[in-house]
Amino acid sequence: MYYGYSPEQEQFREVLARFLTERAPISAVRAQMASDRGHDPALWRALAEDLGLTGVHLPERCGGQGFGFEELCIAQEELGRALTCAPFFATSVLASGALMELASEAEQDALLPALIAGERLAALAWMEEDGQVAADATTLGATRSGEAATLSGHKHYVIDGLAADLLLVVARDSADGALGLYAVNADSPGLTRRALATIDTTRRLAALEFDGCVARPLGAGRDFAAGFARLMDRATIALAAEMMGGARALLDQAVDYARLRMQFGRPIGAFQAIKHKLADLLLEVEVATAAVRYAAAAVDADDPEVPALASQAKAMAAEAYLKSAIDSIQIHGGIGFTWDHDSHLWFKRAKSSEVLLGDAAWHRERFLALTEAAA
């Protein structure tokens, strides 16, 4: 069974939370939302160098900290709570995770250290315009010639695709149709990148066009399908953890406001209409958090149920985060609908997280199919 955090994990969480409160308060989030780059390189360096966050779950031989997946999820939860604008999910969860699951050890040794050191940013490009989560839908073609390959086609919804120095691209071998992971430098000729306009400007998306781009095939001899499935399950749980951090921030803000906001001669939190709404919200957030933390611990325990647990975590996190965002704005009343009030920043992240890596309905269906198969 998986229980709460150990004292060491709790301490790690507190250190990170304090760091983010000081270095990346909501005013900094607003500044980065409006910036071209979308994140603060100085903050990223500090996260990498001072806290070692970029390699918290990655092997020590590559410069990582060698902790478990639970620690990665603690980091995600805190970054989600603070709504930190940083390429952590793209570089440290998706791209580094892809290298761990799909690349050879030598390729990991060659590529991971710069990512962990905070010197380079990376993005995983696998979805195309149809937005399918599964790699099977890939149409982008790779033409092999000896050790290299050229890529032609489109990728869409690439998280931090514009900021990345290194692109890890899922492509289909035009000779045998096999799926594989390919490394492309961002400055490669034939690569065109375009920022997509997004609701949530704390999470940047890009569309990529490859026109005969030179790429390096990765992971010879590794089982792509199994590795990619593991990668997606882990990324899904990590995203759910980030979402629960955000949901908790919204809940806390709504509770604080309900204690202070006076109407009809009393704090609005004294009215059952508000009190009960908040009690229900706490329930939803706590239950979803239990599901997400259970799933995170299950990854470290190599639990065969991880695929179903990942879907459960994401489906519950999606509902809980969106409810937190809607209810928090509702409890704040008119001020909650204004640009200057912060609730909408989390609302937008909740929206973008709701559909990213599969929406709740998709995950419920997947959960049930996996549960049926196991029963």
Partner 1 sequence: MSDIDIPALRAELRAWLAAHWQVDQGLVAWREKLVESGWGMPHWPREWHGRGLPVACVSALEEEFEAMGAVGVARAGIRLLAAATLLEHGTDAHKQRFLRRILTGEDTWCQLFSEPGSGSDLAGATTRAEFDGTRWVVNGQKLWTTSAHHADWGLLLARTDWDAPKHTGLSFFVIDMHQGGVEVQPLKQMNGHASFNQVFLTDALVPAENQVGNTGDGWKIAMTTLAHERRNADALRRWGQGSGRAGRIYDEERAEIATVMEPYRWYPQRTGRVDLLLPRARATGRIADPALRQDLASVLMLSRASEWLAQRARHAKENGKPEGPEGSLGKLVASHVARAAARVHTAIGGMDAMLAGADGAEQGLVAEILLSVPATSIAGGTDEIQRNIIGERVLDLPREPRTDAGPFRDIPRNPPRGR
Integer Cα distance of 83 and 31 in angstroms: 12
Site string for partner 1, 21-60 (x = CB under 8 A): ----------------------------------------
Integer Cα distance of 282 and 278 in angstroms: 6
Closest separation in Å from C-beta 158 to partner 1: 30
CA 356 to chain centre: 9
Closest separation in Å from C-beta 283 to partner 1: 5
Give the residue with the Cβ less far from partner 1, 139 or 371.
Answer: 371
Give the residue with the Cβ less far from partner 1, 226 or 283.
Answer: 283
- Pinpoint the alpha helices (H) of the chain: 7-23, 26-33, 41-49, 69-82, 88, 96-102, 105-116, 224-260, 272-300, 306-332, 343-355, 360-374
| Choices 146-154, 158-166, 240-248, 311-319 (CB under 8 A): range interacting with partner 1 | 311-319
Task: Please tell me the count of residues contacting partner 1 according to CB under 8 A.
Answer: 39
- Helix (H) or strand (E) run with residue 218 in it: strand 205-218
What's phi and psi for 218, nearest 5 deg?
-115, 155
247 makes contact with partner 1 (CB under 8 A): no
Closest separation in Å from C-beta 366 to partner 1: 9
Q: Long-range contacts of range 6-14, CB-CB < 8 Å, 24 or more positions apart?
A: 9/70, 9/71, 9/74, 12/71, 12/74, 13/74, 13/77, 13/78
Closest separation in Å from C-beta 258 to partner 1: 6
355 makes contact with partner 1 (CB under 8 A): no
Residues 313-332 that bind partner 1 (CB under 8 A): 315-316
Site string for partner 1, 263-292 (x = CB under 8 A): ---xx-xxxx-xxx-xxx-xx--xxx-xx-
- Closest to 307 (Cα-Cα) out of 248, 357, 272: 357
Give the residue with the Cβ less far from partner 1, 24 or 308.
Answer: 308
Give the residue with the Cβ less far from partner 1, 224 or 271.
Answer: 271
Closest separation in Å from C-beta 347 to partner 1: 21
Give the residue with the Cβ less far from partner 1, 46 or 290.
Answer: 290
Integer Cα distance of 156 and 208 in angstroms: 6
What's phi and psi for 145, nearest 5 deg?
-145, 100
Closest separation in Å from C-beta 279 to partner 1: 4
Burial of 104 (0-12, 13-18, 19+ CB in 10 A): middle
State the DSSP code for 57. T
Bridge partner residues of 152 (DSSP): 141, 211
Integer Cα distance of 370 and 54 in angstroms: 32
Give the residue with the Cβ less far from partner 1, 38 or 358.
Answer: 358
DSSP for 100-121 reads: HHHS-HHHHHHHHHHHHTTS--
Give the residue with the Cβ less far from partner 1, 225 or 368.
Answer: 368
Closest separation in Å from C-beta 1 to partner 1: 6
| Choices 33-41, 103-111, 120-128, 309-317 (CB under 8 A): range interacting with partner 1 | 309-317
Give the residue with the Cβ less far from partner 1, 13 or 364.
Answer: 364
State the DSSP code for 134. S
Give the residue with the Cβ less far from partner 1, 106 or 273.
Answer: 273
Q: Under the rule (CB under 8 A), what is the footprint of partner 1?
A: 1-4, 255, 258-259, 266-267, 269-272, 274-276, 278-280, 282-283, 286-288, 290-291, 293-294, 312, 315-316, 361, 364-365, 367-368, 371-372, 375
